[in-house]
Amino acid sequence: MPLALLALAVGAFGIGTTEFVMMGLLPDVADDLDVSIPTAGHLVSAYALGVVIGAPLLAALTARLSRRHVLIGLMGLFVAGNALSALAPGHEWLLAARFLSGLPHGAFFGVGAVVATTLVTPERKARSVSLMFLGLTVANIAGVPAATLMGQHLGWRATFLGVSAIGLVAIASLALLIPHDRAHAPAGGLRGELAALRPLPVWLALLTTVAGFGALFAAYSYVTPMLTGAAGYAPGSVTLLLALFGVGATAGNLLGGRLADHSMRGTLFGGLGALALVLAAFPLLMRAEWSAALAVALLGTAAFVTGSPLQLMVMEKASAAPSLASSANQAAFNLANAGGAWIGGLALAAGYGATSPAVAGAALAVVGLAVAALAAAVDRRRSAPAPAPAPAPGRERVVAAHVPEHSSALHG
């Protein structure tokens, strides 16, 4: 695999760290800025909103530029957003800075996925995408815990300065390792790029992402109360258990990339099915500490097996605008984050128990399987050969009468 994929992974590591570290810093930020924790929680939403808006917008606006220059520019915007977060004088300014930090997230992964697939042979496309996503999953193992500890001991502002430093390393890596490419003009301009997103298969692939990763976030958003309320873990143990999720996600990401190069559709169906089974088993697995730890690791594995095939599927269905489609898939991922957390919260608020968000997530995974099956049926119908046109009336009789006569003349 090309060394240039390391540069993409470094950028993904920084993005993954800044995306998830806010969950661990919320109490510190709320206390320092003199706001309630629910109000500070809007900082998580501001980042997600930046991703959803920025992913398709920036991908469309930069479609004509060199992808190498786009990646470097997006990381520059990422560094600026995190530096402004560290310097924010109040909650409103921090909200704006977090929104700015989220803007380049989806476009970076979208353009990065396209670049990754151009660096390898066709039979290794899924693995190349999974190696870029490796930075995101490793961030959950090392980046987020380390950044959280930094924030707790040096202040939350130091965390965002540290993330900005990671962004600068990523910019240097991208400049050194990503091959130079020329600016390219997509066919039909921006209108042509947007038109590539119209076909039904593209939307079915995006909907599969929303349902599949919505299943993950329905459970993962409430994994701490499950571990403390149902499995009996002390609150201080949760950070280590969340690192187990990162280990599982890393394993699933690498496994999914390898399997998807052999069967993209099979890997997707297998991952969604495994995710549904793991989530449905949560009420049983959360009854003991050892099985609860196993459940957290399996959740990460099953969910991230589907990451690479979903990214590639969206890119293939909108082959005329792969960067825009790939970025739109990242927006779908963040919609899944918000929607899954909301559905899991509904189950919890209804009084169905601490593990009810996981059961709701299992239902979402089944919905994802159904949408994937529908997409496969649509693909089969579109790829089926058209029936041969029926012969004109009377033509068969003329030919039938003519052939024997010709044949007898030859053999006479």
Instruction: Answer yes or no: are the C-beta atoms of 107 and 58 closer than 8 Å.
Output: yes
Q: Both tokens of residue 288?
A: 């003991």
Count the Cβ atoms, other than its own, within 10 Å of residue 96: 16
Q: Both tokens of residue 375?
A: 């997409």
Please state which of the ranges 179-193, 221-235, 278-292, 394-408 shows the lowest mean pLDDT.
394-408
Please state which of the ranges 46-55, 109-118, 381-390 shows the lowest mean pLDDT.
381-390
Instruction: Answer yes or no: are the C-beta atoms of 205 and 317 closer than 8 Å.
Output: yes
- Residue 79: its pLDDT value, please? 96
Q: How far apart are CA 207 and CA 180, in angstroms?
A: 34
Q: How far apart are CA 174 and CA 161, in angstroms?
A: 20
Q: Quick one: average pLDDT of 7-26?
A: 85
Residue 188 binned pLDDT confidence (cut-offs 50, 70, 90): low
Burial annotation 108-136 (CB, 10 A radius, 16+ → b, else e): bbbbbbbbbbebbeeebbbbbbbbbbbbb
Collect all residues with Cβ–Cβ distance below 8 Å to 207 and sequence separation of at least 6. 332, 371
Instruction: Answer yes or no: are the C-beta atoms of 135 and 10 closer than 8 Å.
Output: yes
Residue 284 binned pLDDT confidence (cut-offs 50, 70, 90): very high
Which one, of 323, 362, 327, lies nearest residue 344 by Cα? 362
Residue 1 binned pLDDT confidence (cut-offs 50, 70, 90): low
Burial annotation 21-57 (CB, 10 A radius, 16+ → b, else e): bbebbbebbbeebebeeeebbebbbbbbbbbbbbbbb
pLDDT digits (tens, 9 = 90+) for 197-208: 778 888 998 999
Q: Quick one: average pLDDT of 174-202?
A: 74
Q: How far apart are CA 362 and CA 279, in angstroms?
A: 5
Q: How far apart are CA 103 and CA 87, in angstroms?
A: 18
% of the chain with per-residue pLDDT over 70: 88
**1-183 maps to CATH 1.20.1250.20:** yes
Instruction: Answer yes or no: are the C-beta atoms of 392 and 252 closer than 8 Å.
Output: no
> What rounded mean pLDDT belongs to the chain?
84
Q: Both tokens of residue 234?
A: 């002390």
Q: Which amino acid is at 128?
A: S
Q: How far apart are CA 38 and CA 71, in angstroms?
A: 34
Please state which of the ranges 121-125, 215-219, 277-281 shows the lowest mean pLDDT.
121-125
- Residue 178 DSSP class: S
Quote the CATH superfamily of domain 190-383: MFS general substrate transporter like domains (1.20.1250.20)
Q: How far apart are CA 183 and CA 57, in angstroms?
A: 18
Count the Cβ atoms, other than its own, within 10 Å of residue 184: 10
> How many separate helices (H) and strands (E) can be counted in the chain?
19, 0
Which part of the chain is CATH 1.20.1250.20? 1-183, 190-383
Q: How far apart are CA 322 and CA 107, in angstroms?
A: 11
Burial class (CB in 10 A: 0-12, 13-18, 19+), 244: buried
CA dihedral 45, 13, 202, 320 (to 10 degrees): 130
Q: Which amino acid is at 135?
A: G
Instruction: Answer yes or no: are the C-beta atoms of 257 and 305 closer than 8 Å.
Output: no
Higher pLDDT, 2 or 58: 58
Please state which of the ranges 14-18, 192-196, 325-329, 400-404 shows the lowest mean pLDDT.
400-404
